[in-house]
């Protein structure tokens, strides 16, 4: 079976009821919770930090995937780990020492990931794959939910899939390939065909407006990917 993880982004949730919202998407079939952290410095928007992560942590047992859109990252990584993060990803441009930041996360026993903006080259991965659990490709410019999917991400996903498959053949280790931005029931099959296995969906899921709607959207996304059959 083709892997298909759906990670609803909290950015489009009702922040006044965030605990219930993450509980509802978990019950609706989500696989990870995607927790977007913005600092009005690395990106032109401001969201939430470790205190809010700690507050929602008891509401779900699913992995919480913390997407740091902050700069720098090292000083805050321990706070997100203490607050209950399972996966922490950060942008290539947001730290002076990528290897050190990855090690900070992995040495705490958590999964670490690097995030690539649409224009950021994949060559940042060249010497770091052994310390990476997730590669997150942005398919929009980071900072806001509800933007349109940038088409060049398809070609980039295919190139990354080749790299990760070659790495797996060599080491046996699987690295998740996550896509973030503009993912909808109508384009998820094309993104999965290019090689992605994990899909962030904020406005598509929470825009459905009710727990029944969340389940319907998540189901339709999973069905669209399952209909592709196994990866050849």
Ligand X SMILES: O=C(CO)[C@@H](O)[C@H](O)COP(=O)(O)O
Q: Is the CB of 209 or the CB of 229 nearer to ligand X? A: 209
Q: Is the CB of 130 or the CB of 181 nearer to Co ion? A: 181
86 is in an annotated binding site: no
Least distance to ligand X from the beta carbon of 166, Å?
28
203 is in an annotated binding site: yes
What is the DSSP code string of 30-98? -S-EEEEEEBSSSSS-B---HHHHHHHGGG--SPEEEEEE-SS-TTTHHHHHHTT-SEEEEEGGG-S-H
Pick the catalytic residue: 39, 65, 133, 180?
A: 180
Q: Contact residues for ligand X (CB under 6 A)? A: 9, 11-12, 34, 36, 67, 69, 140, 142-147, 180-183, 200-204
- Do residues 92 and 114 make contact, with C-beta atoms less than 8 angstroms apart? yes
113 is in an annotated binding site: no
d(CA 181, CA 31): 17
Q: What is the dihedral of CA 88, 89, 95, 98, to 10 degrees?
A: 90
d(CA 124, CA 126): 6
Q: Is the CB of 8 or the CB of 50 nearer to ligand X? A: 8
Q: Which of 224, 146, 128, 136 is nearest to 182 (CA)?
A: 146
Pick the catalytic residue: 36, 39, 65, 197?
A: 36
Q: Is 36 a catalytic residue?
A: yes
Q: Is 126 a catalytic residue?
A: no
- Do residues 57 and 81 make contact, with C-beta atoms less than 8 angstroms apart? no
Least distance to ligand X from the beta carbon of 186, Å?
13
Q: Is the CB of 44 or the CB of 162 nearer to Co ion? A: 44
Beta-carbon-side half-sphere exposure of residue 56 (alpha carbons within 13 Å): 30
Least distance to ligand X from the beta carbon of 203, Å?
3
Least distance to Co ion from the beta carbon of 166, Å?
27
The binding site for substrate consists of 9, 67, 143-146, 180-182, 202-203
- Residues annotated within the binding site for a divalent metal cation are 34, 36, 67, 180
Annotated active-site positions, please?
Answer: 36, 180
């Amino acid at each position: 079976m083709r892997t298909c993880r759906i990670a609803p982004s909290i950015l489009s949730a009702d922040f006044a009821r965030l605990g219930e919202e993450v509980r509802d998407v978990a019950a609706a079939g989500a696989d990870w919770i995607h927790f977007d952290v913005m600092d009005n410095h690395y990106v032109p928007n401001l969201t939430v930090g470790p205190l809010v992560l700690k507050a929602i942590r008891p509401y779900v047992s699913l992995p919480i995937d913390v997407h740091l859109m902050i700069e720098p990252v090292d000083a805050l990584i321990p706070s997100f780990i203490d607050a209950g993060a399972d996966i922490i990803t950060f942008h290539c441009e947001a730290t002076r020492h990528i290897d050190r930041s990855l090690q900070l996360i992995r040495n705490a026993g958590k999964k670490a990931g690097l995030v690539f903006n649409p224009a950021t080259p994949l060559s940042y991965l060249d010497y770091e794959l052994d310390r990476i659990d997730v590669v997150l490709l942005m398919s929009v410019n980071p900072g806001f939910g509800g933007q349109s999917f940038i088409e060049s991400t398809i070609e980039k996903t295919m190139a990354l899939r080749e790299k990760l498959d070659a790495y797996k053949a060599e080491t046996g280790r699987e690295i998740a390939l996550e896509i973030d931005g503009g993912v909808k029931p109508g384009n998820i099959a094309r993104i999965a065909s290019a090689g992605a296995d994990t899909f962030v969906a904020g406005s598509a899921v929470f825009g459905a407006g009710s727990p029944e709607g969340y389940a319907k959207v998540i189901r339709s996304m999973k069905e669209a990917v399952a209909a592709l059959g196994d990866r050849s």
